[in-house]
Amino acid sequence: MPTRITISEAVRHEAETVEIAGWLYNIRKSGKIVFPLLRDGTGLMQCVAVKSALPEALFETIKNLTQESSIVVTGKIRADARAAGGFEMDVENLEVVQRVPESDPYPITPKEHGTEFLMDHRHLWLRSQRQHAIIRVRHAVIKAVRDYFDSHGFTLVDTPIFTPAACEGTTTLFEVNYFEDEKAYLTQSGQLYNEANAMAFGKVYCFGPTFRAEKSKTRRHLTEFWMVEPEMAYADLEEVKRVAEEMLLFITARVLETRREELKVLERDVAKLESVQSPFPRIGYDEAVKILQANGSEIQWGGDFGGTDETILTQQFDRPIMVDRFPSAIKAFYMAPDPDRPEVALGVDVLAPEGYGEIIGGGQRVHDPELLLRRIEEHQLPKEAFNWYLDLRKYGTVPHGGFGMGIERCVAWICGLEHIRETIAFPRMLYRLRP
Ligand code: 4AD
Ligand code: MG
């Protein structure tokens, strides 16, 4: 019995007869030779089936294979510099597990399809090379994020998804029925619980799905996205910025190290990622507004950046930039005011270059109990739901801070994608809940 291997393992089996289980990606025919292109999830393998070397019925079966039929191929691995992965397989046998019928062929053909069609067939679209590359970069980003925090003294403490109150404003809450007339909300951010965890463990992070009922139909918004959020006790805004920069450097270096092939499939200009080096430019909101006005933006001091503003701003630099000290009025209730200028908040946004815009938001939190209570009232948040959060300021309060990074925004930037929808296997958006 030949050994069952994956395509990625072929390099260790040269000149051996092995078995690979997968699907027919494509097929090319030239008279007495047929070239089925096999995919197995780890790569592509060009197979070579020669008529004279195979029983006639088997050759006919191979010749008539249809796209995405499931097959198990046995053959000898041969090095070939011209082949995609550096190897080819000379077919000795092929077992058809399921043949896709001509009457109902695989809907995604090598021709161009519109985005809506592809999104409707997302469950199948994931099999294509480009989608494959994106999801593998995503995996590398997530692994890098975890490795970074795990090796820098952070404890993973996951936070709840059902929550009794808003964290990031009441306008983007998804409400769910939680037994006996009680309402719960899908979490917008793990931050508030993270703050409790930081007071227990010092440095923590949570990483999970978060939800925003965003009515915006932009290339940057999902209604369900994954966010990694570190939180640190005894940390100020400068420390938050330092960690954000170090983490991003770690991620980009890791992707460049382990996902070159995927970046090539995506035709990503890797020079743009290689220029992501320390230090990231740090500018204040005041200065950012001036840069924007000088470049034709309508923005006035006090206003929030629009998508176009972020694009203009990031096009001035070759690496991520950090913008801090936004007007408190446009930021969340928990943001600490700058003691020297209370009208601005000790918050920071990290904007990715090439027009990608905000990928990280964070900063220092209010740690004064009276001020926090006042903020909760001003924002008309239900005080009862925040009693536990106020406790954190009663029992050993300390300056602390952290940030949140949306994984999909980060992946869209690293992959150089036009739209965030391709960065997650099954995106959830304003007009997309299926498949
Ligand atoms: O800036 P945001 O709203 O900050 C927070 O939620 C803080 N509580 C995080 C913290 O300090 N612990 O969101 C953080 C990041 C954004 O920078 C962006 O990357 C991502 O989450 N994000 C979204 N990603 C995709 N779709 C959306 N609708 C997003 N909203 C935010
Ligand atoms: Mg933000």
- For the chain, give every domain's residue range: 3-98, 123-423
Measured from the alpha carbon of residue 194, the closest ligand is 1
Report DSSP state, residue 180. Answer: T
Identical fold at 3-98 and 123-423? no
Measured from the alpha carbon of residue 228, the closest ligand is 1
Q: What is the pLDDT of residue 1?
A: 87
225 lines ligand 1 (CB under 6 A): yes
| CATH no., domain 123-423 | 3.30.930.10
CATH topology of domain 3-98: OB fold (Dihydrolipoamide Acetyltransferase, E2P) (2.40.50)
Q: What is the pLDDT of residue 432?
A: 94
pLDDT in tens, 56-105: 999 999 999 999 999 999 999 999 998 878 899 999 999 999 999 999 99
- For the CA atoms of 9, 10, 11, 13, the dihedral, rounded to the nearest 10 degrees, stands at 110
- Global pTM reads 0.96
Residue 17: how many CA atoms within 13 Å on its side-chain side?
8
* Nearest Cα to Cα of residue 53 among 68, 74, 27: 74
Is residue 186 within 8 Å of residue 174, measured between CB atoms?
Answer: yes
360 lines ligand 1 (CB under 6 A): yes
The amino acid occupying position 97 is: V
Nearest CA to ligand 1 atom 4: 361
429 lines ligand 1 (CB under 6 A): no
* Nearest Cα to Cα of residue 94 among 11, 15, 12, 2: 2
Nearest CA to ligand 1 atom 7: 404
The SS3 call for residue 75 is strand
Atom of ligand 1 nearest to the CA of 172: 28
Counting ligand 1 atoms within 8 A of each CB, the residue from 174, 197, 204, 409 with the most, and so the one to mutate, is 409
Q: What is the pLDDT of residue 352?
A: 96
Q: What is the pLDDT of residue 170?
A: 86
Regions of the chain where pLDDT drops below 50: none
* Nearest Cα to Cα of residue 96 among 21, 25, 29: 21
How far away, in angstroms, is 107 Cα from ligand 2 center? 39
Q: What are the start-end ranges of the E strands in 99-223? A: 155-156, 162-163, 175-177, 183-186, 203-211
3-state SS track over 376-417: HHHCCCCHHHHHHHHHHHHCCCCCEEEEEEEHHHHHHHHHCC
Is residue 411 within 8 Å of residue 134, measured between CB atoms?
Answer: yes
359 lines ligand 1 (CB under 6 A): yes
What is the distance between the alpha carbons of residues 358 and 311, in angstroms, rounded to a whole number?
A: 9
**Sequence-ordered list of residues with C-beta below 8 angstroms from that of 399, at least 6 positions apart, any chain:** 234, 235, 236, 336, 364, 367
pLDDT in tens, 201-212: 999 999 999 999
